[in-house]
Amino acid sequence: MRDAELRFEVLGPVRAWRDGAELDLGAPQRRALLAALLLHGGRPVPGDELVDAIWGDDPPRSAAQVIRSQVSRLRRVLDPAGGRAPAVIEAAGGGYVLRARGAQIDRTVFEERLSVARDARRAGDVAAQSAALREALALWSGTPLAGLRGDHAEAERTRLVELRLSAAEDLFAADIDLGRHVDAAAGLAAMAAEHPYRERVRELLMLALYRSGRQAEALGVFDETRRLLSRELGLDPGPGLREMQRRVLAGDAAAGEPVAVATGAGCRPAQLPADLTDFVGREDLLRQVVAALTGPGVPVVGLTGLAGVGKTATAVRAAHMAADLFPDGRFFVELGDGPEPAEVLGGLLASFGAADVPASARDRVALWRSMTSGRRVLVVLDDVRTAEQLRMLLPGAGAVVLTARRRWYEVGGVDWRTVDGLTEAEGLALLERIAGAERVAAEPDVARRLVTKTSGQPLPIRLFGTRLVARPQWSLAVAERRIGLIEPRLPECTAIDVPYLSVYGMLTAAQARTLRLTALAGDRPVSLAEAAALLDLPPSAAEDLLEALADLHLIEIVRLGTYRLLDPVRIFGVRRALAEDTAEDRAAALARLTMAG
C-alpha cells in the first residue's frame, strides 16, 4: 500500500493536505506547533522553544502537558489510519521532531524555485528566470508562519518576507528585460506605495516608465523619492537611483544596466586571514554556509557556539571557499570590545577607496552602503557583541558571515548556525595533524579517550597536540592525565581558560556563581531541582540563570529541565569555584545537592 502524500503551507496561514484533501488542524495552538516543527526542517525542537513559539512570554503552568496533548492530536490528524503517513512526530532531544519523508513544504519549494531562477539568470535565460520567480511568488498566501511566536520564528518570518520582496523585484526586472514595461510599471507603482523606502523598486519603476515612453513620470518618481528620503530619513537617493536619473535625462536607450559605484582605481580589498592548514571537519556546515551566501538580497549567516569551538576558523574557511563569488572585495573585521562601529567604518571606507571619509557615524553608514551597493563583496564580522555593530556594518550588497557568542535576534534576517564540537573522528584527525599520525596510532585507545575528554573542542586538542610536539618524551597517556587536572598552574590549563575567561567576564555575579556551583556537581547531567538546590534558589530563578548560560553555550540543555556542562567548561568552573568560593560555601552547596537527590 502506497504512503499517503502530505503537503504543508507556511507561507501564509498554516495549512496541511493529505492525499489532496485539506486537513482540519484544529486549534491555533496545534497550528503553531506544526509550524514550529516544520520551521526546523527535520531537526529536534526543544520543549522550551515550542512553549515560546506557542505562548510567547505568557505560557500557562501546564504548557508541557498541553504540548504533549497537542502532539498526540496532531499525530492523529496527520495519520488517522496510523503508520502510513510520510511524516511522524517523534520525541527527541528534550522536545519533538517532525520527520517529513517526501512531504512537500511550500517554503522549501519557494527557495528551490528561487535557486532555479538564479541559475537561469546566470545562464542568460531571462524568460526561464521570470517563469521560476512567478512560480515561487505564487506560493504565497499571506504573512508567513502566521500565529507562530518567539524570536526564532520572527527572525525566519523577516528572512522569508525579505526573500519574497527581493524575488518580486527580480521578477519585475526580468519582465522589463522581456519588454513587459507597462505591466511592470503598474506592479512596481503598487509595490513602491507599500514599501516606500526600497530604492530598487523605485529605480525599476523609473526604468519601466521610461521604456514605456513616460520619461516625465520617470523623473517625477526620482523627485518624489528624493523628497521622501530627505524628509523622513535625512538621506539622499542612492547611486542606483542617481544613475537612473542621469540616464533618463540623457535619453539613454540602455538605461537600466547595472550601476557600478566607483571605489578607487582597481580597489578590491582582500583582507581575509590565512586559512588554517590543520582545519578539519565541518564539511556539511561549510557547504550550508557557502550555499546561504549565494541567496538573494544581502544574505547574513551567523555562526554561534561555545568560546574556543572554532567559530572564527569556520567563518574564515567558508569565506575562502566562497571567495570567487565576491570578486569586488573580501573584508575581515575583528570587533569584540575593540573599536566602535564608526571607527571600523572609517577603515572599511578607506580600504574600499573612499577619497573623503565623513566625520559622522550616520554619514559613514550611508556612504558604506552606497559604495557597496551593486558590488559583490563579502564581509566577515568576527565576535559581534552588540546588535548595533551588526546593523551599522551591513553592506548595501554582497553577503556577510558573522561570529557571535549568542544569537542577536534584534536584527532580523540572520541565518543562524551553531558550530558544535568536533566528532571523535574529526578530533583524532586534528590530533594526528598536530602531534603526528604515528604517535596517535601507537596509543589509539588513549587518543580516543583524550579527544572524548575535550568534548570535541578544538582548542584543548590543539594545545595538547602542540605540547606533545614540544615534549617528544611524553606519551599520550601523560597528556590524558594532565587534561583533567584542576591545577591552574599548568600552561595548558592557562591557555585553555583564555576564551572561557573572556565569556566569564561578561556574566553577572549570579550567572558566574551558577556556573561555578553547577561545575561542582561533577561530570553528569543536573536537573533543574538539583541546580536550584545547589544555588539555594527557587527553581524559576535557577532556570533563568541556567538559560542565560545556555544562550552563551556555557551549558548544554540535555532535555527540558536537565542541563550538562561540557568537560572543559566544567573543569574551568571548578577552577573558578576553588579560586572564588570559600570551602564552606562549596561544602554547603554540595550538601544541598545531596539532600535534593
169 and 231 together in one domain: yes
- The CA-based angle 49-54-56, given to 5 degrees, is 75
**CA atoms of 547 and 563, how far apart (whole Å):** 9
**pLDDT tens, 141-195?**
888 887 777 666 777 788 888 889 999 999 999 888 887 888 888 889 989 988 8
**Cell numbers describing residue 557:** 540543555
Report the percent of the chain where pLDDT is more than 90. Answer: 7
3-state secondary structure 2-18: CCCCEEEECCCCCEEEE
Query: Is residue 271 domain-resident?
Result: no
Do 97 and 127 reside in the same domain of the chain? no
169 plus 51 within the same structural domain: no
Q: Are residues 459 and 358 in the same domain?
A: no
Of 106, 130, 147, which residue is a domain's last? 106
User: Is 155 part of a structural domain of the chain?
Assistant: yes
Could you read off the pLDDT of 150-163 as tens digits, one per residue? 666 777 788 888 88
Q: Under 8 Å CB-to-CB from 93, ≥6 apart: which residues?
A: 44, 46, 559
Does 479 score more than 80 pLDDT? no
Helices (H), 123-198: 126-137, 151-177, 181-194
Of 437, 456, 483, the position where a domain reaches its end is 483
Q: Is residue 278 situated within a structural domain?
A: no
DSSP 87: E
Average pLDDT rounded to a whole number, residues 491-515? 76
The residue among 478, 474, 554 whose CA lies nearest residue 515 is 554
Judged against a pLDDT cut of 50, whether residue 261 lies above it is answered with: no
Considering 233, 250, 267, which residue would you say is the last residue of a domain?
250
Residues in the chain: 597
Nearest to 589 by CA among 538, 514, 539: 514
Residue 272 forms part of a structural domain: no
CATH of the domain at 176: 1.25.40.10
- List the CATH number of the domain containing 348: 3.40.50.300
* pLDDT at residue number 506: 79
Which has the closest alpha carbon to 552: 517, 497, 506?
Answer: 506
- Would you say 355 and 367 are in contact if contact means Cβ atoms under 8 Å apart? no
Note down the domain range covering 451: 424-483
Confidence of residue 259 (pLDDT cuts 50, 70, 90): very low
Query: What is 93-111 written as a DSSP string?
Result: TTEEEEEETT-EEHHHHHH
pLDDT digits (tens, 9 = 90+) for 263-308: 443 457 888 887 777 788 888 888 888 888 887 778 899 998 888 7
Closest CA to 6 of 63, 89, 69, 70: 89
Structural domain contains residue 273: no
Same domain, 363 and 476: no
User: Do 396 and 428 share a domain, yes or no?
Assistant: no
> Do 405 and 478 share a domain, yes or no?
no
Angle at 150 between CA 148 and CA 153, to 5 degrees: 60
Largest CA distance in the chain: 86
Indicate whether 152 and 97 sit together in one domain.
no
All 3 cell numbers of residue 577? Answer: 569555584
Question: What is the rounded distance in angstroms from the CA atom of residue 510 to the CA atom of residue 547?
Answer: 12
pLDDT digits (tens, 9 = 90+) for 422-459: 888 888 888 888 878 888 888 888 888 878 777 778 87
Compute the average pLDDT of residues 451-468. Answer: 78
Whether residue 589 sits in one domain with residue 513: yes
Q: Which CATH number goes with the domain that contains 568?
A: 1.10.10.10
Do the domain assignments include residue 46?
Answer: yes
Q: Do 335 and 392 have their domain in common?
A: yes
pLDDT digits (tens, 9 = 90+) for 368-417: 888 887 778 899 998 888 888 888 888 888 899 999 888 877 777 888 88
Instruction: Tell me, yes or no, whether 261 lies in a domain.
Output: no
Q: Are residues 42 and 64 in the same domain?
A: yes
pLDDT score at 171: 92
* Claim to verify: residue 384 and residue 475 sit in the same structural domain: no
- Res 487: pLDDT: 53
- Domain-embedded: residue 315: yes
Number of domains in the chain: 5
Q: Which three cell numbers stand for residue 242?
A: 542617481
pLDDT of the residue at 356: 76
pLDDT digits (tens, 9 = 90+) for 33-46: 888 888 777 777 77
